[in-house]
Amino acid sequence: MSRWEYFLKRLLLTVPVLFLVITFLFIMLRLGPLDPVAARLGPEASGADAQAMRERLGLDAPLWEQYVMFATDLLTLDGQSWVVQADRPVTSVIAGAAPPTLWLGFWAILLPLFIGIPLGFYAGLNPNSWGDYVASVSGIVWQAMPNFWLCVMLLAGLRQTQGGGWFGFDWYALGPELRSITGTPDLDFLRWGEPVGLPMPTAVDWGALAVDIKLILPPAIVLGSASIAAELRIGRTAMLETANANYVETAKAKGLTDRVIVWKHVFRNALIPLVPVISNEAFLLIGGSVIVEVIFNINGLGRIFFQAVIQGDLPLAGALLFMFTLIIIFLNILQDLLYTIIDPRVGYER
Amino acid sequence: MGPESTADREGSPIVEVRNLQTAFFTEKETIRAVDGISFDVVPGRTVGIVGESGSGKTVTARSLMGLVGRPGRVLRGSSIRFRHLETVREYASRFPGRTADLTDPSVEPADLLDRIDATPETFGYDDPRDVPVAEVVAAGYADGLGLADGDDCVFVTEGEPNEPETITDGFVEISRLDGEPQRLIRGGRIAMVFQDPLTSLNPVYTVGNQIVEALRLHRGLRGAEATREAARLLEDVGIPDAGRRVEEYPHQFSGGMRQRAVIAMALACQPEVLICDEPTTALDVTIQAQILELLAEIQERRDLAIVFITHDMGVIANVSDRVNVVYAGEIVETAGVEALFDEPKHPYTRGLLRSIPGRQTGDRLETIEGNVPTPNEPATYCRFAPRCPEAFEACESVHPQAVSVGDGDDHAAACLLYPEELSRTAAVDHHRERTHGGDG
């Protein structure tokens, strides 16, 4: 079986999984104690108005009909929000909220990758040195701090810096100027044009990009904090184990330089145990972004999902969960693909 | 001495190990894993090092490769001299800053010994006038005397160091190597085959890639040419269908195949010396026989010097020309392979031979009771005494020195029972005298 046949098979196997997910979603959301009509019209709504709204949303149809409607709307991307942004198509609600979340997620994955792994590898290459102790202890401290608490503390700390403050710098004035340290990044840094008839980015507004990055850094650090710590600790262990492996000894006996030994023989083997850690972190981001987006006042998917669930907005919550499921399945497949690329011992045969 | 160097003459050693001491400095104690071992490695011959687990065999091998890492260190007074003329010439021209000229005849060895507070016994000589200046300097004693700098590692004893072609005698001191000159020796001049073939190949690179790596480093081969050479090397060690095998990963090889691949890798750069650290221990008996046969064949073809380390007396009898029996970091007996097996002198050697299955007399397999002690203090007694069936009182207080036993000069044992022709008291006095000479 070739690599691509294998992954095609994996993709086909996701179809039944998706159907189960749709059904489960419907049961959970529809049979739960949430009342979208009350959420939309207010608890005081009179019987006639409520009845009219019920009919409009299709809530008086038999349950199986509601299920079919829900499923077809999901699969054809055709639903409309019931409550959160009433009567807007679900796709446009998601399209509006997705960019800030993607921007947040991008940095929340990137920061751990470029802080956690290098620190972990450094600690593993210099075990029991001062650098190792500092990195390992701070890793544990990072991991011990819960997101919601860290969010609030970071916000409080950064607010104090306005106009100089405790820490001797003003976060608002440092680099690109910010009026508020919370809020949704507008992500308007690309200049679009049609140089060859197709719309494509033609220039980057560096000032706007810097503002967007500065705005997203605090929430991204919070969201990635646990990942930084986990990648640091797994990276350190992986490096230590690999550096003592027999094939590293063989490489030394061959007369290779330390640089080649570390980058060729140690690095790639140490990455193998990090693959599932990194992809699992991506799962966590989806859940974590709800809290972080609410606290940092970012109008993203996490926040909208939270509102949709507590207000019984079945099509919107369903569509978002469906999307999260798709992302997780896709990440799993990507993880397996990465495994087969990094480690030749992982094959496609049973 | 003619224009030919010592190394090119028949039977003269290419590597001389003298008084090798490697210690590990832990917080709790200092472990003298190798404590004063000396032996020669001769081209075309196999020298065996045999002993139980924990006797210091592997540390000896790693010291030869310069692979002893923290907290371990090769101590001052140790010397591992690589007497390959071609290498000495090449090093003298490539690293002139690290080459020391020891041709000055005005330096008196006896004088030198006085100034550094050492005795001729440290270097294995009785008379101070016999000790070559080069050996004192190589062992790290003379750094402060203006004869060598701290990082000198190439020592020229005959010829002009500034004109490498005129050098006719000299050596590279392996225990003083680091950086670039050390990497050139490793793999290029001295190669090593490790104990466990299942883990000594990197699982994420093809076997070919790992051989090519060595070829590129030491022979400058690249691309398709290097791959062809790698396939040829695999074929040489008896791997069928080598052209395809080059592209395969280690996990696609069987255990025996992997050890063949490791041997191919070690031979890739045409080393002068091959160190085999228990190369067959992880393999089953038939594969073991095949690998030993392969090594013997390669040795004959290339006139390779082999250092063979094992705990298996049967294998040692098979492969080596000369055997050193080590116990707790010391050589307790050294002899030609036939002399050792026919007339073992040291009680430890006898014990080892008796514990080979099939050799004992009774129903039960005979063993040597107890374990190898950890050598964590300088030896002032016989380290084997607690387990020795023939131990007597003096064994607890006198450190035995190697004395000649048997007919030739080349059979020696470090045991208070010898020399046999002396009475026991006289023999003990003989050892005590030599020990005290060594201390004073």
| Residue B326: per-residue pLDDT | 93
Half-sphere exposure of B169 (CA within 13 A, CB side): 15
Contact A249, B67 (CB under 8 A): yes
Chain A contact for B67, CB < 8 A? yes
Burial class (CB in 10 A: 0-12, 13-18, 19+), B395: buried
Q: Is the pLDDT of residue A295 over 90?
A: no
Q: Is the pLDDT of residue B324 over 90?
A: yes
Over range A268-296, report the average pLDDT: 82
Most confident of A78-92, B218-232, B414-428: B218-232
How close does chain B come to A124, measured CA to CA in Å?
15
Helix (H, G, I), strand (E, B) or coil at B33: strand
Q: Is residue B329 assigned to a domain?
A: no
Burial class (CB in 10 A: 0-12, 13-18, 19+), B233: buried
Interatomic CA distance for residues A79 and A313, integer angstroms: 11
Helix (H, G, I), strand (E, B) or coil at A80: strand
How close does chain B come to A114, measured CA to CA in Å?
24
* pLDDT more than 70, % of chain B: 88
Chain B positions in Cβ-Cβ contact with residue A255 (cut-off 8 Å): 182-188, 214, 217-218
In tens, the pLDDT along B42-67 reads 999 999 999 888 888 889 999 998 88
Cβ distance B194 to A345 less than 8 Å, yes or no, reads no
Q: Which of B202, B213, B247, B263 to mutate to test the interface with A (most CBs of A within 10 A)?
A: B202
Q: Is residue B193 assigned to a domain?
A: no
Q: Final residue of a domain: which of B188, B204, B222?
A: B188
Cβ distance A253 to B188 less than 8 Å, yes or no, reads no
In tens, the pLDDT along B345-380 reads 899 998 888 888 777 677 777 788 888 888 888 888
Chain A contact for B194, CB < 8 A? yes
pTM of the full structure: 0.79
Split at pLDDT 50, 70, 90, the class of B8 is very low
The enclosing H or E element of B336 equals strand B330-336
How close does chain A come to B408, measured CA to CA in Å?
37
| Residue B440: per-residue pLDDT | 35
| Residue A165: per-residue pLDDT | 65
| Residue A236: per-residue pLDDT | 92
Longest Cα–Cα distance in chain A: 87
Q: Is residue B402 assigned to a domain?
A: yes
Q: Which of A125, A128, A252 to mutate to test the interface with B (most CBs of B within 10 A)?
A: A252
Cβ distance A250 to B191 less than 8 Å, yes or no, reads no
In tens, the pLDDT along A37-84 reads 777 777 776 777 778 877 877 777 788 888 888 888 888 878 777 777
Chain A contact for B204, CB < 8 A? yes
Split at pLDDT 50, 70, 90, the class of B409 is low
| Residue B275: per-residue pLDDT | 93
Token pair listed for B339: 């002399």
Chain B contact for A184, CB < 8 A? no
Interatomic CA distance for residues B268 and B261, integer angstroms: 10
Q: Which of B204, B205, B258, B269 to mutate to test the interface with A (most CBs of A within 10 A)?
A: B204
Cβ distance A247 to B265 less than 8 Å, yes or no, reads no
How close does chain A come to B276, measured CA to CA in Å?
12
Cβ distance A256 to B213 less than 8 Å, yes or no, reads yes
Cβ distance A247 to B200 less than 8 Å, yes or no, reads yes
Which chain B residue lies closest to A127 (C-alpha atoms)?
B70
Chain B contact for A265, CB < 8 A? yes
Tally of domains in chain B = 2
ipTM of the modeled complex: 0.82
In tens, the pLDDT along B234-292 reads 998 888 888 899 999 999 998 888 988 998 998 888 899 999 998 888 788 888 888 89
Cβ distance B201 to A253 less than 8 Å, yes or no, reads no
Q: Which residues of A289-320 are buried (b: 16+ CB within 10 A; e: fewer)?
A: bbbbbbbbebbbbbbbbbbbbebbbbbbbbbb
| Residue B184: per-residue pLDDT | 87
Over range A167-173, report the average pLDDT: 71
Cβ distance A268 to B204 less than 8 Å, yes or no, reads yes
Which chain A residue lies closest to B268 (C-alpha atoms)?
A254
| Residue B48: per-residue pLDDT | 93
Q: Which of A247, A272, A349 to mutate to test the interface with B (most CBs of B within 10 A)?
A: A247
Chain B contact for A253, CB < 8 A? yes
Which chain B residue lies closest to A268 (C-alpha atoms)?
B204
In tens, the pLDDT along A84-123 reads 777 788 888 888 888 888 888 888 888 888 998 899 999 9
Chain A contact for B181, CB < 8 A? no
Over range B326-338, report the average pLDDT: 91
Contact B202, A269 (CB under 8 A): yes
Higher local confidence (pLDDT), B105 or B88: B88
| Residue A210: per-residue pLDDT | 83
Chain A contact for B184, CB < 8 A? yes
Alpha helices of A90-205 — where are they, by DSSP H?
A: 90-125, 130-144, 147-160
| Residue B42: per-residue pLDDT | 92
Cβ distance A256 to B183 less than 8 Å, yes or no, reads yes
* pLDDT more than 90, % of chain B: 19
Cβ distance A256 to B196 less than 8 Å, yes or no, reads no
Q: Final residue of a domain: which of B156, B188, B220?
A: B188
| Residue B436: per-residue pLDDT | 65
Contact B403, B430 (CB under 8 A): yes
- Which residues are bridge partners to B324 per DSSP? B49, B334
Burial class (CB in 10 A: 0-12, 13-18, 19+), A200: exposed
Cβ distance A343 to B204 less than 8 Å, yes or no, reads yes
How close does chain B come to A169, measured CA to CA in Å?
44
CA dihedral B381, B384, B385, B391 (to 10 degrees): -120
* Cross-chain CB nearest to B199 (options A247, A252, A253): A247
* pLDDT more than 90, % of chain A: 4
Mean pLDDT for all residues in chain B: 83
| Residue B26: per-residue pLDDT | 87
| Residue B117: per-residue pLDDT | 65
Token pair listed for A290: 């709800």
| Chain A contacts in chain B segment 339-398 (CB below 8 A) | none
Q: Which residues of B80-113 are buried (b: 16+ CB within 10 A; e: fewer)?
A: bbbbbbebbbbbbbebeebbbbbbeeeeebeebb
Interatomic CA distance for residues B30 and B24, integer angstroms: 6
| Residue B439: per-residue pLDDT | 44
* Of A50-59, A143-152, B299-308, B394-403, minimum mean pLDDT range: A50-59
* Cross-chain CB nearest to B217 (options A245, A254, A272): A254
* Of A25-29, A253-257, B124-128, B353-357, minimum mean pLDDT range: B124-128
How close does chain B come to A344, measured CA to CA in Å?
6
Cβ distance B191 to A253 less than 8 Å, yes or no, reads yes
To which residue do tokens 């991506």 refer?
A282
DSSP letter string over A8-70?
HHHHHHHHHHHHHHHHHHHHHHHSSS--HHHHHH-TT--HHHHHHHHHHHTTTS-HHHHHHHH
* pLDDT more than 70, % of chain A: 95
Q: Is residue B403 assigned to a domain?
A: yes
Over range B179-184, report the average pLDDT: 86
Interatomic CA distance for residues B187 and B151, integer angstroms: 21
* Of B112-121, B195-204, B389-398, minimum mean pLDDT range: B112-121
| All structural domains of chain A | 90-342 (1.10.3720.10)
Chain B contact for A342, CB < 8 A? yes
Domain limits at B92? Answer: 85-188
Which amino acid, residue B39?
F
Interatomic CA distance for residues A239 and A273, integer angstroms: 10
Q: Is residue B44 assigned to a domain?
A: no
| Residue B1: per-residue pLDDT | 35
Chain A contact for B197, CB < 8 A? no
Q: Is the pLDDT of residue A181 over 60?
A: yes
How close does chain A come to B317, measured CA to CA in Å?
27
How close does chain B come to A256, measured CA to CA in Å?
7
Chain B positions in Cβ-Cβ contact with residue A338 (cut-off 8 Å): none
Q: Which of B177, B190, B200 to mutate to test the interface with A (most CBs of A within 10 A)?
A: B200
How close does chain A come to B187, measured CA to CA in Å?
4
Distances (CA, A) of B52 to B55, B284, B335, B343, B355: 6, 20, 18, 20, 12
Chain B contact for A47, CB < 8 A? no
Cβ distance B183 to A255 less than 8 Å, yes or no, reads yes
Chain A positions in Cβ-Cβ contact with residue B204 (cut-off 8 Å): 268-269, 272, 342-345
| Residue A47: per-residue pLDDT | 77
Residues 6+ positions from B166 with CB-CB distance below 8 Å: B159, B160
Chain A positions in Cβ-Cβ contact with residue B249 (cut-off 8 Å): 344-345
Q: Final residue of a domain: which of B133, B166, B188?
A: B188
